[in-house]
């Protein structure tokens, strides 16, 4: 019998070691796996490279991870929020690395990794600072830059519903980067608001098929807070 559910966050994060590259789902605080992030901070994992749209922004335990120096580098499009200068201060002091990526290029690099596409050309960022140093080619009259697929060791995601095969669904704006990250990491760990029986989600309702998912932990924590 396939059962990807694990009893708690500790078991979900087993073998997540120092030096790990982590993809983190969520846009702002919606679809963010808060308790997995709490668990990561509590476990004391260090040397983390964090790939997330708002990596660096002060949501939940991201603050602890940044303050304790557990995060070595972030790969993201928007590493700040109105309520906090934490990331900007660390960055100015040279205490954290940053690879700034346009949001669509970030999403597509993740999707490409998931789909086995090693690299792709895009006009986004061509001729700008964020395209500097990358291979360029004019395609159909437009300047493009070569972007590499973005892989991770671990993906930490949040779902609305999950079954024991690891099939997932998401709620409203909670989908964001979660489905594409599921396929771009070697180990995909999901926290879910609701645990459902096999077949309770119809095949049409499954947004991420369980093939991409390794571990699921049931955490009915309630609504996100901005």
Partner 1 sequence: MSEPATKLKTLTREQMAARLAADIPEGWYVNLGIGAPTLVANYVADREVVFHSENGLLGVGPKPEDENVEPWLINAGKQYITMMAGGSTFDSADSFGLIRGGHLDLAVLGGYEVAENGDLANWSTGANDAGPAVGGAMDLGAGAKQVWVLMDHTTKTGDSKLVTKCSYPLTALGSVTRIYTNIAVIDVTPNGFVLRDTAPGVTFEDVQARTSAVLHRA
- Residue 181's φ and ψ, nearest 5 degrees, are -70, -30
Instruction: For residue 28, state whether it binds partner 1 (rule: CB under 8 A).
Output: yes
Q: 177: which DSSP letter?
A: T
Is residue 17 within 8 A of residue 44, CB to CB? The reply is no
Q: 84: which DSSP letter?
A: B
Nearer to partner 1, 39 or 224 (CB): 224
Nearer to partner 1, 13 or 191 (CB): 191
Alpha helix segments (H runs only) across 165-219: 178-182
Q: Minimum CB separation from partner 1 for residue 25, in Å? A: 9
Q: Minimum CB separation from partner 1 for residue 130, in Å? A: 7
User: What tokens does 189 get?
Assistant: 């760990």
Q: Minimum CB separation from partner 1 for residue 215, in Å? A: 21
Rounded to whole angstroms, how far apart are CA atoms 214 and 160? 17
Rounded to whole angstroms, how far apart are CA atoms 138 and 149? 20
Rounded to whole angstroms, how far apart are CA atoms 110 and 116? 10
Rounded to whole angstroms, how far apart are CA atoms 214 and 120? 28
Nearer to partner 1, 45 or 168 (CB): 168
Instruction: For residue 20, state whether it binds partner 1 (rule: CB under 8 A).
Output: no
Q: Which of 19, 69, 97, 123 binds partner 1 (CB under 8 A)?
A: 123
Q: Which of 19, 69, 97, 104 binds partner 1 (CB under 8 A)?
A: 104
Q: Which of 127, 139, 200, 221 binds partner 1 (CB under 8 A)?
A: 127
Nearer to partner 1, 41 or 55 (CB): 55
Q: One symbol per residue from 73 to 92: x for binding partner 1 (CB under 8 A), - otherwise; what is it?
A: ----xxxxx-----xx--xx
- Residue 182 CB neighbour total at 10 angstroms: 28
User: What tokens does 201 get?
Assistant: 């989600």
Q: Which residues bind partner 1 (CB under 8 A)?
A: 27-30, 53, 77-81, 87-88, 91-92, 98, 100-108, 110-111, 122-130, 143, 171-180, 207, 223-226
């Amino acid at each position: 019998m396939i059962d990807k559910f694990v009893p708690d966050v500790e078991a979900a994060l087993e073998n997540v070691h120092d030096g790990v590259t982590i993809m983190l789902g969520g846009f702002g605080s919606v679809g963010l796996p808060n308790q997995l992030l709490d668990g990561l901070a509590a476990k004391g994992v260090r040397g983390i490279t964090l790939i997330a749209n708002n990596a660096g922004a002060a949501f939940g335990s991201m603050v602890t991870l940044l303050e304790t120096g557990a995060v070595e580098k972030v790969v993201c499009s928007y590493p700040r929020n109105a309520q906090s200068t934490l990331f900007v201060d660390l960055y100015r002091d040279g205490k954290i690395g940053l690879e700034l990526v346009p949001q669509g290029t970030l999403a597509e690099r993740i999707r490409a990794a998931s789909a086995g596409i090693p690299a792709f050309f895009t006009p986004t960022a061509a001729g700008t600072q964020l395209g500097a140093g990358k291979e360029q080619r004019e395609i159909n009259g437009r300047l493009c830059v070569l972007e590499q697929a973005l892989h991770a060791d671990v993906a930490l995601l949040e779902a609305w519903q999950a079954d024991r095969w690891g099939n997932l669904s998401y709620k409203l704006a909670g989908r964001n980067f979660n489905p594409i990250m599921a396929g771009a990491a070697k180990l995909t760990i999901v926290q879910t608001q609701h645990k459902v029986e096999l077949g309770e989600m119809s095949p049409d309702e499954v947004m991420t098929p369980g093939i991409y998912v390794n571990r699921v932990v049931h955490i009915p924590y309630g609504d996100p807070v901005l």
